[in-house]
Amino acid sequence: MCGLSTFIRTGFGNHAIPIIFVTNRPFAEGVTQPMMSTMQDEQLSLATLLQYASTFRGDSTVSTWTGDGVRTMTFREMGAESARLANALRGLGIGVGDRVGTFMWNNNEHMVAYAAVPAMGAVLHALNIRLFPEQLVFVANHAEDQVVIVDGSLVPMFAQYLPNMKTVRHVIVANGDAATLTAPDGVQVHSYAELLAAQPSTYDFPVVDERSASGMCYTSGTTGDPKGVVYSHRSNILHAMQVISPSGMGYSEADTVLAIVPLFHANGWGLVYAAMLSGANVIMPDRFLQPGPLLQLMDQLKPTFAAAVPTIWGGVLAQLQAQPQDISHLRSVVVGGAAVPPSMMRAFQDKYGVKLLHAWGMTETSPLGSVAHAPHGLEGEEAMAYRITQGRFPAFVQARIVADDGSVLPNDGVAVGELEVKGPWITASYYAPGGGEVDPDKFDDGWLRTGDVGKITPNGYLTLVDRSKDVIKSGGEWISSVDLENAIMGHPAVAEASVIGIPDEKWDERPLVAVVLAPGATAEAAELREFLTDKFAKWQLPDSWAFIDEVPKTSVGKFDKKRLRASYADGELNVVKL
């Protein structure tokens, strides 16, 4: 009977499922010995995935946009290039478990790094080039990156940070001139092209324990130091299997996926490994991320699928209105990282026949959590009611709603609380190289506390109301800043709107709306407030308004409410009181 308590890992905990799983008593008295299966203990390995992609899926391609054309590499060539990179990295002293950073746009070379580094047993750390300088240096030091691969066009930026990176010993400059980087003592600079040209195109990629590290990403939260998440071979492969399933993105070899979301954001949304698994072709936009170049690229390469945050799609939509273009080659466009205004979803659908696919996830969840496919058989507004939610959870992202007092609420589509999730591609902790725990209160008995506030329907659809720190607590009731933003952004004169809670003597907090008007448009606060009257209760209507030139954004393009709150506190906003 020894060891049984660890063999049976856990019951279902106190899930709020009324019918089946109510109590939490131990399994059975006099329980018998477990029986082991005869199945192979074959590890889920990114080395095995690379081997597959570069042979049986060897004809699939990754292409990098050059501004007026593409550089294309087959997955077969990617396999050979990965072997060259792995040989080169081994030559620089990189072994199993060592961290290799990238400081790159989305391009062929970045995809090769995503493929090769974990396949050789090392750990890919894609550095977010848009982090604030002190954060960027912090994460490179915290992760103990040994080698960093840098795009030539990013060398000037990287050169500012390099002197403060304490563990970096080698820098490899891709797509540019290595001579332009002046390195501190003890750091060697290499040309990617020259370094790889000297290497053999074969490598014995090892199959390591599937729980070992394959990659790292740091959250770019607006408070405190960035926190590291360490993905495993297992988590990346299970996540990729979910991405390609019909309830995820349903990628197949018939797809060509435009990866606008940077590979340094939240595991690159798992695009690289999902493409290798499915044989989907990949298009990398490199540094051409403005709406005009993206539309030019789409016109030429006709992707069937694209992935980016809402701000990118907002820009594309504005550009399309100025200069119409057929984008119906896109069978679907996945949008995540922030809530999508329903008005944007309708505009893409009605004017361009393109279905935005809303998804929810976090760096901590690899990132794919829920995806908003409407239930089968629904059409029109009935379908739209589901498509504007954050989506439906798959089997292996368990989800629950928890009240302030820690009690689990029912998934009845009504009860609102903090979303907690659990599953094999969800982090159990933040990376703590020196031992100890980082931010342990983000975890609740094996569940990740997401910091998102919302509700779940009986059939598994998530609707987020707000971030727990952004929700406005007015007179003991909650007002969703996100709901207000979405409604206000539906007004034709409004380009962007961000809502924060500001202190109020009577109500504790009241909403303040910071509005960016559309180019050439005019609107008064009273008019905008009037526009909201049929959508909200009277007590929820904002009484403080400010017109600003731009909503401050975080390094990943989300509204930075911390900076907006600071601007308000510093008296920098010109507030209209109604």
**Residues of span 463-522 touching a copy of itself by CB under 8 A:** none
Please name the residue that has the structure tokens 């329980």. 31
222, 457, 478, 535: the catalytic one is: 478
Catalytic status, residue 134? no
**How far apart, in whole angstroms, are the C-alpha atoms of residue 221 and residue 226?**
6
How far is the CA of 211 from the CAs of 272, 304, 430, 438, in angstroms? Answer: 19, 33, 15, 20
Contact call for residue 206 and a copy of itself (CB under 8 A)? yes
Could you tell me the two tokens for 69? 């054309």
Q: For a copy of itself, how many residues bind (rule: CB under 8 A)?
A: 121
The helix or strand, by DSSP H or E, that contains position 37, with its residue range, turns out to be none
Per-residue contact string for residues 111-150; x = within reach of a copy of itself by CB under 8 A: ---------xx-x---------------------------
String of contacts with a copy of itself for each residue 164-203, x by CB under 8 A: -------------------------------------xxx
Task: Verify whether residue 219 is a known catalytic residue.
Answer: yes
Q: Which of positions 30-59 make contact with a copy of itself (CB under 8 A)?
A: 30-44, 47-49, 51-59
Strand ranges, E, within 275-367: 281-284, 305-308, 332-335, 356-361
The residue type of 8 is I
Nearest-approach distance from CB 95 to a copy of itself, in angstroms: 4
Note whether 459 binds a copy of itself by CB under 8 A: yes
- Candidates 141, 212, 290, 332; binder of a copy of itself (CB under 8 A) is 212
Query: Please, which of residues 390-449 interact with a copy of itself by CB under 8 A?
Result: 392-396, 398, 411, 422-431, 446, 448
Give the C-alpha distances (Å, rounded to integers) separating 104 from 101, 336, 445.
9, 21, 37
Residue 473: active-site member? yes
Binders of a copy of itself among 231-270, rule CB under 8 A? 231-232, 234-235, 237-238, 241-242, 244-247, 250-254
Gap between the Cα atoms of 214 and 228, Å rounded: 13
| Shortest reach from residue 398's CB to a copy of itself, in Å | 7
Radius of gyration of the chain (CA): 24
Task: Write b or e for each residue in 195-204: b if 16 or more Cβ atoms lie within 10 A of its Cβ, otherwise e.
Answer: bbeebeeebe
| Residue 137 C-beta: closest distance to a copy of itself, Å | 21
Instruction: Choose the binding region for a copy of itself from 27-35, 131-139, 338-346, 494-502 (rule: CB under 8 A).
Output: 27-35
- Segment near a copy of itself (CB under 8 A); pick from 94-102, 159-167, 344-352, 553-561: 94-102
- Give the nearer residue to a copy of itself in terms of CB position, either 391 or 511: 391
Does the CA dihedral 116-119-120-123 come out positive or negative?
Answer: positive
**Cis status of the peptide bond prior to 410, with omega within 30 of 0:** no
Question: Applying CB under 8 A, which part among 10-18, 483-491, 513-521, 537-545 lies near a copy of itself?
Answer: 10-18
DSSP β-bridge partners for residue 173? 150, 191
Which of 204-212, 285-293, 340-348, 354-362 is the region at the interface with a copy of itself (rule: CB under 8 A)? 204-212
Catalytic residue among 364, 418, 485, 496: 364
Residue among 61, 64, 102, 219 flagged as catalytic: 219
- For residue 367, give the nearest of 212, 263, 482, 213 by alpha carbon: 263
CA distance linking residue 434 with residue 409, whole number of Å: 37
Considering the rule CB under 8 A, would residue 566 count as an interface residue with a copy of itself? no
Pairing of β 70-74 and β 61-65: antiparallel
Long-range contacts of 370-379 (CB under 8 A, 24+ apart): 370/394, 370/397, 370/399, 370/460, 370/461, 370/462, 371/247, 371/248, 371/249, 371/334, 372/461, 373/247, 375/459
Q: Residues 276 to 295: which contact a copy of itself by CB under 8 A?
A: 276-279
The residue written with tokens 């989506």 in the block is: 391
Active-site annotation holder among 473, 527, 530, 539: 473
CB of 197 or CB of 578, closer to a copy of itself: 197
Q: Which of 204, 404, 549, 550 binds a copy of itself (CB under 8 A)?
A: 204
Q: Which is nearer to a copy of itself, 207 or 576 (CB)?
A: 207
Smaller CB separation from a copy of itself, 234 or 561: 234
Q: Which of 12, 403, 412, 413 binds a copy of itself (CB under 8 A)?
A: 12
Q: Which residues are catalytic?
A: 219, 364, 473, 478
